[in-house]
Structure 1
Amino acid sequence: MARRNLNDLLAFVTVAREGSFTRAGAALGVSQSALSQAIKALEERLEIRLLTRTTRSVSPTPAGERLLQAIGNRFDEIESELEALTALRDKPAGSVRITSGDHVLRNIVLPKLTPLMHHYPDVHIEFDVAYGLRDIVADRFDAGVRLGESIDKDMIAMPIGPRLRMAAVASPSYFENHPVPKSPDDLTKHQCINIRFPTHGGLYVWEFERRGRQVNVRVDGQVTFNTSPHIVLAALDGLGIAFLPEEEFSPHLENGRLVRVLETWCPPFPGYHLYYPSRRQPSPAFSLVLNALRT
């Protein structure tokens, strides 16, 4: 069935309620003649008279009264909902779903969003801790957080933290029994703590670079994880050399519980980014999240 223009119905409801073409025209911001033409066209389409017109007043016919009772409250509901949306703009509310890794959530995302949640109690944020590369569109997330180099080109990416460096580390007790590696190739002779990506199931190939020379190393060892906090714990326990963004090891490097190697082979690279699909009119709640996370 073809859609009908609702303007003439709104015109009818306003005239019937106001009892005057003059007052209805003022309320709608249109001329009396335009209102008269709209009502006439509606009556011709329905093939029934809806309004009784006299020189002094306008009132609905029995058919017009029935139509007014049937649709008048619907326009009231629409107007009420539009006012509620305006209130959302002035007082943001709603839910935002974000997927990210544990470390960046604890150290970047939550510290930046906590003040927002205190200030806007009607904004609700759901965090999903995952180490795989989630399809945020298919999984109905508003946004995700990952390293800038791994974001799909069709996503909008916004940096939320500084540039990072990778770090190869092990405990002092490990190096008491193993030589310190001088180059990335030496890692093949060491026990290394592997990470398996949940998304495609493959083991991460450690990536190094120095003076324009890139070296990728497939390492081996006794233990493999798919979460970074457990890799840190395994390194502290002397189970081998670990390789993660240096900030994940920072407190342990400072207190000497971990020792860094191959530092000159770990140049800076783009850090964590918030990524999300293109959207012309983001919700007020999501706009607040974007502004809070922007570096």
Structure 2
Amino acid sequence: MAHENFNDLAAFAIVAQERSFTRAAAKLGVSQSALSQTIRALEERIGLRLLTRTTRSVAPTEAGARLLQTVAPRFEEIQAQLAALSELREKPAGTVRITAGEHPATSILQPALKRFLPDHPDITVEIIVDYGLTDIVSEGYDAGVRMGEQVAKDMIAVPIGPEMRMAVVASPAYFKKHPIPLVPQDMTAHTCINMRLPTYGGLFPWGLEKDGREVKVRGEGQLVFNSLGLRLSSALDGLGVAYMPEDQVLPHIAEGRLIRVLEDWCPYFPGYHLYYPNRRHSSPALSLLVDTLRYRAP
């Protein structure tokens, strides 16, 4: 195909992956009408319809899906090779896009970037807080952060934090009005501050375990959040019992603002991992950031 048509193919690949002319146009920095004309010209040149358009969606036709399967990996490889050329520079440069939940973003990524970025002024790090199990390849991310057991086996996974533990907590004011729960079943009598995550659909179950026995607590309550900070502040305000990452509540427990219960039902589990596609060439900026984030046990 003629050299000048590569831009058309790249534009088609982005529209097909985004399944939206609006999002693709924003990513390419062009108008929707210009992008639509580019795709239409490509279809006329090939003699096949590549995209099915409706008022609500855009999807590849059979021919479009075959073309996308062929060209998308090539463009990925070209981008990776171009990024790898920055190794020839004195300093790595470029943008690293990461998707992560709120907890690892604030407890691990942000402190690490405070040390990392001043030494690497040519590197930009974009962090998108998202609780879904995002497909980082199709969504255009360089890396993601998940719990160790949630990482897909075809990804490279690097531990970036120690083992973790959850804590069940409430304020002293709350426990003045309610009995201390001694076993998970006692939580049915308590007001729970719940969490809803897109990966679970319903309310996030509290995973408790002791002596090999696992219990999923699904308590009732008046509050449901998808925010770590709001769950913590609500527990401090005495509005219920919360299930929180241990590191977020230990200072409050030490100062008497929260009381921990069911501690013997909260075991350790694998911590957060940074994961990214198993490509032959990662960008120097990503490689440098991975080395910075890699957890090294004290």
Normalised to the residue count of structure 1, the TM-score between the two structures is: 0.69
Q: Identity percentage over the alignment?
A: 56
User: How far is the alpha carbon of 1:86 from its aligned partner?
Assistant: 5.6
Contact 1:167–1:246 (Cα < 8 Å) also in 2: yes
Q: Helix, strand or coil: the match of 2:149? A: helix
Q: Helix, strand or coil: the match of 2:177? A: coil
Q: Which residue matches 2:273? A: 273
Q: Which amino acid aligns with 1:97?
A: R
Q: Which amino acid aligns with 2:123?
A: V
User: How far is the alpha carbon of 1:143 from its aligned partner?
Assistant: 0.9
1:216 aligns with 2:216: yes
Distance across 2 between alignment mates of 1:177 and 1:2? 76
- Residues 149 and 244 of structure 1: is their aligned pair in 2 closer, same or farther, counting only changes over 3 Å? farther
- Residues 87 and 131 of structure 1: is their aligned pair in 2 closer, same or farther, counting only changes over 3 Å? closer
Contact 2:196–2:224 (Cα < 8 Å) also in 1: yes
Q: Which residue matches 1:164? A: 164
Q: Helix, strand or coil: the match of 1:291? A: helix
Q: Helix, strand or coil: the match of 1:91? A: coil
- Residues 146 and 2 of structure 1: is their aligned pair in 2 closer, same or farther, counting only changes over 3 Å? closer
Contact 1:235–1:241 (Cα < 8 Å) also in 2: yes
1:229-250 deviation per Cα after TM superposition (whole angstroms, max 9, x unaligned): 1110111111111002111212
User: How far is the alpha carbon of 1:153 from its aligned partner?
Assistant: 2.7
Q: Which residue matches 1:72? A: none
Normalised to the residue count of structure 2, the TM-score between the two structures is: 0.68
User: How far is the alpha carbon of 1:199 from its aligned partner?
Assistant: 3.4
Q: Which amino acid aligns with 2:118?
A: H
Q: Which residue matches 2:142? A: 142
Task: Answer with 276-285 or 129-138: which moved more.
Answer: 129-138
- Residues 215 and 119 of structure 1: is their aligned pair in 2 closer, same or farther, counting only changes over 3 Å? same
1:66-122 deviation per Cα after TM superposition (whole angstroms, max 9, x unaligned): xxxxxxxxxxxxxxx99x936645421111001112332222112223332111111
Q: Which amino acid aligns with 1:185?
A: Q
Distance across 1 between alignment mates of 2:231 and 2:241? 9
- Residues 200 and 209 of structure 1: is their aligned pair in 2 closer, same or farther, counting only changes over 3 Å? closer
- Residues 145 and 2 of structure 1: is their aligned pair in 2 closer, same or farther, counting only changes over 3 Å? closer
Distance across 1 between alignment mates of 2:268 and 2:137? 30
Q: Helix, strand or coil: the match of 2:192? A: coil
Q: Which residue matches 1:102? A: 102
Q: Which residue matches 2:198? A: 198
Larger radius of gyration, structure 1 or 2?
Answer: 1
Distance across 1 between alignment mates of 2:87 and 2:283? 12
- Residues 202 and 155 of structure 1: is their aligned pair in 2 closer, same or farther, counting only changes over 3 Å? farther
Q: Which residue matches 1:35? A: none
Distance across 2 between alignment mates of 1:235 and 1:87? 49
Q: Which amino acid aligns with 1:293?
A: L
Q: Helix, strand or coil: the match of 1:235? A: helix
After TM superposition, the structure 1 = structure 2 runs for residues 104-123 of structure 1, keeping only pairs within 5 Å, are: 104-123=104-123
Q: Which residue matches 1:151? A: 151
Distance across 1 between alignment mates of 2:86 and 2:109? 28
Contact 1:198–1:226 (Cα < 8 Å) also in 2: no
- Residues 119 and 239 of structure 1: is their aligned pair in 2 closer, same or farther, counting only changes over 3 Å? same
Q: Which residue matches 1:188? A: 188
The alignment yields a C-alpha RMSD, in angstroms, of 2.2
Q: Which amino acid aligns with 2:177?
A: N
Q: Which amino acid aligns with 2:279?
A: R
- Residues 150 and 85 of structure 1: is their aligned pair in 2 closer, same or farther, counting only changes over 3 Å? closer
Contact 1:131–1:227 (Cα < 8 Å) also in 2: no
Q: Helix, strand or coil: the match of 2:104? A: helix
- Residues 133 and 87 of structure 1: is their aligned pair in 2 closer, same or farther, counting only changes over 3 Å? closer
User: How far is the alpha carbon of 1:251 from its aligned partner?
Assistant: 1.9
Q: Which amino acid aligns with 1:124?
A: T
Distance across 1 between alignment mates of 2:196 and 2:133? 12
User: How far is the alpha carbon of 1:136 from its aligned partner?
Assistant: 1.4
Contact 2:86–2:92 (Cα < 8 Å) also in 1: no
Aligned length: 217
User: How far is the alpha carbon of 1:123 from its aligned partner?
Assistant: 0.8
User: How far is the alpha carbon of 1:130 from its aligned partner?
Assistant: 2.0
Contact 1:99–1:130 (Cα < 8 Å) also in 2: yes
User: How far is the alpha carbon of 1:228 from its aligned partner?
Assistant: 1.2
Q: Helix, strand or coil: the match of 1:168? A: strand
Q: Which residue matches 1:252? A: 252
Contact 2:87–2:284 (Cα < 8 Å) also in 1: no
Q: Which residue matches 2:285? A: 285
